[in-house]
Structure 1
C-alpha cells in the first residue's frame, strides 16, 4: 500500500524554459521554473465538489426510482415531494436490506455484497489501467503527476497509475482489505456512491498534499508521483476512527497491533519522511499523510452529515427543478 515517487526529471540546457523528458516516453515538455500551488488547489476543490455532486445525484436518482416503484397511486405521487421524505425512505430501505441480509442463511446470501462489488470494480479498473499503460505508448504521461507541469488532471489520474506489479499488488491488497470495511462503517452506511465519491476525492486531495511537498518544506524538492495509496490511507483513517480496537498487521512486518496505534506510527513515519527524507526509500509521504488526515477528519467532523447529506439535498433540489425526479 504505497504511493511511489518517480525519478526526478532530467533537465536539459535551456536558460529561458528548461525542457525535461518524461520517463514514460520520448516526448519533451516545457517545465515551469517553479511549482504552482494555487491552481492545483482550486482545481482539486472544483473536482472534488463535482465528484461529490455527481455521485450524490446518481444515488438520489436511484433512491427516487425505488421509491416510485414501491409506491402506488397517491403514495407514489407524494413520494418525491420533499428531500426529508426521500431520506426517510432511504433510511428504512437500508435498515430493511441489512436486516434481510443477515436473516438469510449463508447459502441464501448473494456471493458478493454491494461493497464487495464496488471494491472489485475499482480493483479491476486499477489493474486494467496499469495493463493499458504498459501497452499504450505515452499513456503513462497522462497518469504520472509532475508538480512542475500545468496538468492538474493528473492529480486524479495518478491515483490509478502504478510503477510496477509489486506497487500495484500492494495497493490492490489494501483495497481488498480496507474498502469493504470502510463501506460498513457508520460514516458510509453501505452507500457505494458515497464511498466512491470519498475514494476519488481523497485520492485527489492526497495527490495535492504530495504536490504541496514541492513547495514546502523544501521548494523544488517535489518529484513525480503515482499510486492509489493516498486514497487507501484515507480509508485506513476511516476504519481506524470507526473501529479503533481492530487488530491489524502491517505489510512486510510480523505480528499485529490495534489500528489506532498503527495510525499513530504511520503518521509519525510519514511526517519524518516529509521533513528529512529517508535514504534509499522513495515513497509519497505527503500523499500518505494527507490521505490519512482526510480519513480521520472525515469521521471526526461528520463528513457524512456535513458534506454528503447536503450534497444529496442540493442534487435533489436541482433534479426536481429540472423535472428529472
Structure 2
C-alpha cells in the first residue's frame, strides 16, 4: 500500500518533459530497476537473500535496485518494529558497496511512512544518514512535481524544527535537483531553465543534485541497451550534452561538480563505472572518476557526527572544484 505501482514511474503518468525518446525510455527503465529492488526487499526473506536477487539486475541498474530494496526494508522497519533493524543490517552487510543509494532509499520510505513511524527507521552512519533527506527531496519533487517544482514549495519535512531546518533544506534541495534531471527528461536546456526559475539561494543545491543525477543516472545512449554493447556515436552525443550542461551551470559549476564527485564515489565503490560516468566526470569535474572519488574522501570532515558535518563535506568538495577553470561552451 505504501509502494508506488509500476505505472507511477512512467513519463505519461508523471507528466515529465519528453525530449529525446531514448532518454525517456532509459529514465523510465531506472524507475523499473528501482521497483524491482523494492519488490525483492518486500518479498524475499533475509538481507543476504535480497542482495543475491539484486545482483541479477542489469549491472548499470543495480544501484537503483539496491535503493528500492532499502526503501522496502525501511518501510518494514517502520511498520513492524518488533523485528526491526532490517535496513541497518542490510547497509552494514550485503549493501555496503551501495551504501549511498541505500541511504537515499531510506528517504523514500520517510516520505511514505506516517510521521510517528519515521523514528523507527534507524540509520547508523552519522554522516551518510543525511542522504535520507536527499532521497526525501527527490521523492517529493518526483511525485509532487506541480507543488515542489511548479510552485517551488519546500517539502513539509523542512518545518520540523528550527535548529536543523536550514541544514535539511540544503540536503533536500540537492535531492530535488536530482529529480529535476528526470522531470526535465535529461534535456539540458529544460533543466537549466527550470533551475534558473528557483530562488537564487536554492540554485547551488539544485545544481549539485543535477550534477549528481547527470553523472550517476545519465541517459540512454551512452551504453546502448541495458547489458548491450556501447554505442560510440551515442557516447559522443552524450559527451556534447554533458559539456553543454557544464557550460549552462556557469557560476554554479563547482556545485554541479560536487554532485558529480559524489556520483563518481558511489559508482566507484559499487564497482559499476559506466562510459557515461567517465564522460560526465570529465565534463563536470575536469578529471577522471578515481580522482573525483578521491576528492570526496579527502574532504571528509573530522567529526562526522557534528551538526554541520554534511554541509562541511560538500563545501570542501566545492572548494576543490572552484579552483578549476570553467569549461568553454561546446561548439554548435
Higher RCO structure, 1 or 2 (CA under 8 Å, sep 6+) = 1
Task: Specify if TM > 0.5.
Answer: no
Q: Which has the larger radius of gyration?
A: 1
Whichever structure has more helix as a proportion of its residues is: 2
Task: Give me the TM-score of the superposition, normalised by structure 2.
Answer: 0.26
Q: TM-score if structure 1 supplies the norm length?
A: 0.27
